[in-house]
Structures are given as structure tokens and as C-alpha cells.
Structure 1
Amino acid sequence: MGMIERFFSVIFGGGRNVVKETAEVFFENAEAGAGRDATLRAQALQQHSSEFAVQRQGGFDRFMDGVNRLPRPALALGTLGLFVAAMVDPIWFASRMQGIALVPEPLWWLLGAIVSFYFGARHQLKSQEFQKSITETMARVPQVVENTRVLKELAAQAPGVASTGPDASLTLEALELENNPALSDWRRKRA
């Protein structure tokens, strides 16, 4: 017995599990990994929601949001206007296009960079607003689940709950007349 006891105390002695510790060198402890993943997700959601905590309500912010909405429609309507101008007065349009042909290439690159940065920033802003709405929606999930549970409990008290559905024998039992003195009296008076 002494030899076996010493062998097990070497492997499992001192409150340690050498086999488990050795296995965890090669394989992740699933429970500890799940705990780390849950903590990471909770921290990421908390950081994500804190980024969007500031609500812009001032008049200047609303004005700037309106100004930021102008370039895209202006570009789209301006392009359509060029097509209309080309059809209405081709000579006028051709002379304006000759002027554009004289714009140096570096200026085109600069215009392209400005437009790309503007629309890229706009896309990023809209993407962040979308992410914010997703975060707010996810925060409401527990309340929606609770509301759904309460509504299901109320359904048992709603009219029509005693409906017999497609069960014919249950329907016949529900339609079977019982001895009702008030109904019998009423029928007698009507006859």
C-alpha cells in the first residue's frame, strides 16, 4: 500500500492534479475558455455602448447634420443636370466640357481624395450609428423576453381560450344541454 500511496501522491499530491495540468498544456480547459469568452464579450459590449453614450441635441449639431446631407443629393442632381444641359444646349455643354478637359491631373486626384474621404467618413458615421442601434436593441432583449412571458401568461385568461378546436367529441360535450331552470322558465314563458 505504501508504494501505491506514494505513486498517487506524486501524481495528485499537494492538492494538485498533475494529469489535468499536463493535459491543459495541450488542450484548453473548455470551462475556463468559455468564462474568458463571456467576459470578453461583456467588456466589448460595454465599451461599444459607452462610445455612443453622448446624444447630440443642440441646434448647431442639427444644422451641421443638415449641411452634411447636402453634398450627395447635390452631386446626384448636378450630374442629372449635366445630362439635361447636354440635351437642351449641346454647344454650351461642349464648351463647358472643354474647360473641364483643361483641369490638371493632380487637381483631379485631389478632388477624388476629398470626395473619397467625405463619403468614407459619412459611411463610417452611418455604420457607427447602425452599430449603436444594434447595441440598444440587444440591451432591450431581456425586457422583450420578459414581456413575451407575461403576454403568454395572459393568453390563458383571454377570450376563446376554452375553444375546443378540431376535437369533435369535446365540441359535442360543450354543446350538450344541461338542466337550466332559468332557461326552462324562459322557454315556458315564450311558448
Structure 2
Amino acid sequence: MGLIERVLTLVFGGQNNLVRDTVEVFRENAEAGAQRGAEVQGQAMTQFGAEFLVPRRGRFDRFMDGLNRLPRPALALGTLGLFVSAMVEPLWFAERMQGIALVPEPLWWLLGVIVSFYFGARHQVKAQEFQREIVSGVAQVPEVLRNIAQIRSLRADGVAVADTAPDAVLLARSIAPTGNAALDAWRQSRR
């Protein structure tokens, strides 16, 4: 009885369950997996909640944040409003455009500088990235041309592709059709 008990304890009992340990190699322990999943989800929720914890700021900071978000939508909606007003009230629109025509050129330059500084930073970053991509592409052109030339030199679908130099006999052999055993057998089977 002692030997059977020791064998069964080794296989099924005690801290080291041989069957459970073997099965867990091929299949995840559901309880341990659920516990790990709960920990991961709890950590994710904690991190997600921490992203929304903003230190208490004053009225001035909140006002300035709101003010910084206005120019782009205001310019876009204002431009659309001009188009609508031109269609709905053409005389009113023409009067306003005559007023804009009286704005001196230095003031237009100043407006252009302000708008350029406001919107230009992102445009400049994107333009520089685009130029870097173009330069890297142009730098690869010689290598690409060499590769194309090598690929074209491998073509063997035309007459006299093989370089026979001044050897007339070799030239005649390279142009003359040769027997193809597989093709001949196929032709024989078709007859």
C-alpha cells in the first residue's frame, strides 16, 4: 500500500501535481490566466484614469487654452461664411470686399507674417520631412539604375543575346534551332 500511495501522491497529490504541471504546458491555467487578465486590465484602467487627472489650473490658463484653439476653426468657418454671404447677399459682400481693398499693403504683409507663424510651423516640419524623403529617394537613383541594368543583362529572350564575339561558327550554333527532347516527345504524342 505504501508504494501505490507514493506513486499516486507523486502523480496527483502534494504541491507538485505531475498531471496538472504537464497539462499546463499545453493549456493555460484558466484561474491564473483570469487573475493575470484582471491585473492587466486594472493597470490599464489606472493608467487611463491618470491621463485625465489634470492639475487644477486657474481661469487665465483655461481662458488662454480656449483662445489658442479658436483661430483655425474661426478662419475655416469665416471663409465658408464669406462664400455663403457672397451667394445670399452679393451687394453686402461687394461692399465688404471694397473695404478690404482699402487695407494698405504693409498691413497685409503683417497679417501674412502672423498667419505664417501661426500655421507655418507645422507646414515647415512637413515640408522638410518631404524634402528629406525626396533627397533619400534621389540618392538611391544610381543604385536603382545599376540594378535595372543588371536585370536587363540577364534577359535571354532575343536572338543573338549570347555574346559570340567574332566566332562565326558559335554565332551560327546560337541562332540555329536545336532539338528539344521534351518538345519532340510532345509533338509525337499529338500525332
Q: Is TM > 0.5 for Structure 1 vs Structure 2?
A: no
What TM-score range do you get, normalising by the shorter chain? 0.3 to 0.5
Q: Over alpha carbons, which structure has the higher Rg?
A: 2
What TM-score, normalized to structure 2? 0.40
- Higher RCO (CA-CA < 8 Å; seq separation 6+): 1
